[in-house]
Structure 1
């Protein structure tokens, strides 16, 4: 396992990995703004094949993953309200140590989500 930030997305409404979810990783700046570090899309396993962040760019601080779940559910043909209840799901979290791995999975359904610090 590499040290850094990784993620995956599971669709609990159908019990399968969420394929093709666009994800953006931001670093939260001291003034509260955000700096885009990387964008990626989940594969057939609901995972991003490479870490979202690793190496020299991986430093302690506050980060935000934004999961574009509204696009995913629309592509799947889910009957959503307009606007959709969930469109973008932001998860803001802190990295306390550069020597620790942070895995941030997202479990989604059209009407709810959950996350946790995985391994």
Structure 2
């Protein structure tokens, strides 16, 4: 385990499966989750025209072993695109909880989204 070396990085991207294109302009928040339930905001970004953040959310020594949560503001994204949504929207914010077990690896956590469904996986 490379827990102390900090050579890895955390990245994400969003694909709008309803429109068949990248999810541009989506606010992404990253929190670190403590063993005691406390949460600490460690990054906030907005996806670019390719649905990706302009750089890693965490990299190097900032990427540490632990539990994290990415939150994607998808309700605001679909509203801005003029998509008719329920009130309140079925999916407003999508949280993805995951763990970093080796800070020396690349963790890529993409989100595939539509107004009524989402999926994720560990990408490369």
What TM bracket, shorter-length normalisation? over 0.9
Find the counterpart in structure 1 of residue 32 from structure 2: 27
Q: Within 5 Å, give how 1:27-66 maps onto structure 2.
A: 27-66=32-71
Q: Secondary structure at 2:87's aligned position in 1? A: coil
Matched, 1:114 2:112: no
Partner of 1:67: 72
- Secondary structure, counterpart of 1:114 in structure 2: strand
Shift of residue 21, structure 1, vs aligned partner: 0.3
1:13 shift after superposition: 0.1
Q: TM-score, normalised by structure 2?
A: 0.93
Q: Aligned pairs, how many?
A: 118
1:51-95 deviation digits (Å, cap 9, x = unpaired): 000121111000100000000000000000000000000000010
Unmatched segments (≥5 aa) in structure 2: 1-6
Moved over 3 A (4+): none
Identify the residue that residue 103 of structure 1 maps to in structure 2. Answer: 108
Displacement of 1:33 = 1.7
> What root-mean-square deviation, in Å, do the aligned CA atoms of Structure 1 and Structure 2 show?
0.9
Whole-angstrom CA distance in 2 between matches of 1:4 and 1:60: 11
- Which residue of 2 is the match for residue 15 of structure 1? 20
User: Structure 1 stretches of 5 or more lacking a match?
Assistant: none
